[in-house]
């Protein structure tokens, strides 16, 4: 029988897979549903599911509307934790949708609830192994329409990942990830042009956008539960090592180390995603660009983490080249990991360091 999630009770047996946005099962068939499963179905706005007429204990199942008594805030905390059992992409998309709701409330001048923000993003940050696997494919999750919300979440988890790889403690890479998520909250104070304008921004609009780190800082400045290091990172994430950044024109060691991590994550994700006014670039091409920037604008220690992560790809990894040929990595040069030796499907061997017009477009 088909029923809504609000009619389910623990012990119901699922007869068909429940498919998520990624076309993979959120919950597979034959699952005996628990309170946790029922809550996830509700949070993912599933209209109906098909269940057996008998419960797991053999008794007849009589659908009826359930009355919820648990406080909403407690239910939200539970939801943010429970979605960790989902495939990583489904969990990521859930966080993007929930962040969008939070951001809409900030546009209506409601204050930031740091408790809600932390409980939303930290369970996703905890999935470090999944994040490490998604670093070079994360841009596929985004779309032009909701790019801004994807960007905030992606910068958060990428920043936390880089922090972990740089040897920071778990408490610190939590803070780095939190700062990454909050770094663009000041965009809520800007007009719709900042989100929906097609084509290039005017000089006046660019100047207005340059105010967003200051607006972000002001929105978190007086929240006692947010560490001062996080607030500084929010304010400084667009500063550059050579002093060419904004809003304060800081340079080198005057820029907080968290802000330097967020800066690299921000640039990387923005350049790998398709925008209304700019085409996406290959993650490997972007990392090469970051390597050039590290001599003046960004922290080379942070860039090196991205480079080291590429070197960890195993021999045999399938790749798509910029000329649309498919091959596999057969050797990685430690000093030039973005340009490995690749064997094409026709067994031709290409050394990308000798073929500068070619580069890896995607990991397959």
Please state which architecture CATH assigns to domain 73-311: Orthogonal Bundle (1.10)
Query: In this predicted model, what pLDDT tens digit does every residue of 104-133 receive, in sequence order?
Result: 999 999 999 998 899 899 999 999 999 988
Q: What is the pTM of this model?
A: 0.79
Supply the pLDDT for residue 81: 64
Supply the pLDDT for residue 72: 47
Query: In this predicted model, what pLDDT tens digit does every residue of 255-313 receive, in sequence order?
Result: 999 999 999 999 999 988 876 666 778 888 888 888 888 888 999 999 988 888 776 66
Mean pLDDT of 153-158: 96
- The pair phi, psi for residue 134, each rounded to 5°, is -100, -5
Supply the pLDDT for residue 78: 61
Query: In this predicted model, what pLDDT tens digit does every residue of 189-220 receive, in sequence order?
Result: 988 777 777 777 788 888 888 999 999 999 99
Supply the pLDDT for residue 278: 65
Supply the pLDDT for residue 302: 92
Rounded CA gap, 79 and 84, in Å?
A: 9
pLDDT band at 339 (very low <50, low <70, confident <90, very high): confident
CATH of span 1-69: 3.90.105.10
Residue 77 has pLDDT above 80, yes or no: no
Mean pLDDT of 137-152: 89
* Under 8 Å between Cβ of 235 and 212: no
Rounded CA gap, 263 and 54, in Å?
A: 55
Supply the pLDDT for residue 355: 84
Instruction: Output the average pLDDT for the chain.
Output: 87
Q: In terms of Cα–Cα distance, which of 321, 273, 269, 311 is closest to 290?
A: 269
Supply the pLDDT for residue 67: 61
Rounded CA gap, 17 and 28, in Å?
A: 4
pLDDT band at 86 (very low <50, low <70, confident <90, very high): confident
Write b or e for each residue in 201-236: b if 16 or more Cβ atoms lie within 10 A of its Cβ, otherwise e.
eeeeeeebbeebbbbbbebbeebeebbebbbbbbbb
Strands, E assignment, the chain: 2-3, 18-19, 25-27, 49-50, 318-321, 326-331, 341-344, 349-351, 360-363
Task: Determine which of 7-21, 38-52, 232-246, 253-267 has the lowest per-residue pLDDT on average.
Answer: 38-52
Higher-pLDDT residue of 49, 40? 49
Task: Determine which of 3-17, 89-103, 120-134, 325-339 has the lowest per-residue pLDDT on average.
Answer: 325-339
Supply the pLDDT for residue 256: 97
Higher-pLDDT residue of 143, 156? 156
Supply the pLDDT for residue 176: 97
């Amino acid at each position: 029988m088909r029923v809504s999630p609000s009619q389910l009770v623990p012990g119901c047996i699922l007869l068909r897979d429940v498919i998520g946005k990624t076309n993979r099962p959120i919950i597979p068939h034959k699952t005996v549903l628990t309170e946790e499963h029922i809550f996830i179905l509700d949070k993912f706005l599933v209209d109906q599911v098909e269940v057996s007429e008998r419960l797991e204990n053999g008794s007849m199942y009589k659908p009826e509307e359930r009355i919820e008594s648990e406080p909403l805030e407690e239910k939200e905390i539970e939801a943010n934790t429970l979605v960790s059992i989902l495939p990583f992409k489904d969990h990521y998309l859930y966080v993007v949708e929930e962040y969008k709701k939070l951001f809409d409330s900030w546009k209506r001048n409601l204050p930031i609830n740091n408790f809600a923000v932390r409980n939303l993003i930290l369970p996703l940050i905890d999935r470090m192994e999944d994040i490490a696997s998604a670093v070079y494919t994360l841009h596929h999750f985004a779309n032009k329409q909701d790019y801004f919300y994807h960007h905030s979440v992606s910068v958060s988890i990428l920043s936390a990942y880089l922090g972990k790889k740089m040897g920071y403690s778990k408490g610190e890479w939590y803070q780095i990830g939190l700062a990454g998520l909050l770094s663009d909250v000041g965009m809520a104070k800007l007009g719709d042009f900042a989100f929906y304008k097609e084509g290039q921004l005017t000089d006046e609009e660019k100047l207005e956008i340059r105010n967003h780190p200051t607006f972000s800082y002001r929105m978190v400045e007086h929240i006692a539960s947010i560490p001062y290091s996080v607030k500084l990172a929010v304010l400084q994430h667009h500063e550059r090592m050579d002093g060419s950044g904004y809003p304060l024109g800081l340079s080198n060691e005057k820029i907080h180390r968290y802000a330097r991590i967020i800066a690299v994550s921000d640039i990387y994700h923005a350049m790998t995603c398709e925008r209304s006014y700019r085409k996406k670039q290959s993650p490997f091409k972007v990392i090469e660009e970051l390597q050039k920037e590290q001599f003046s604008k960004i922290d080379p220690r942070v860039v090196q983490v991205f480079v080291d992560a590429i070197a960890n790809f195993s021999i045999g990894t399938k790749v798509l080249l910029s000329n649309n040929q498919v091959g596999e990595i057969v050797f990685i040069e430690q000093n030039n990991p973005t340009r490995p030796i690749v064997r094409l499907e026709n067994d031709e061997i290409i050394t990308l360091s000798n073929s500068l017009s070619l580069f890896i477009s995607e990991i397959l």
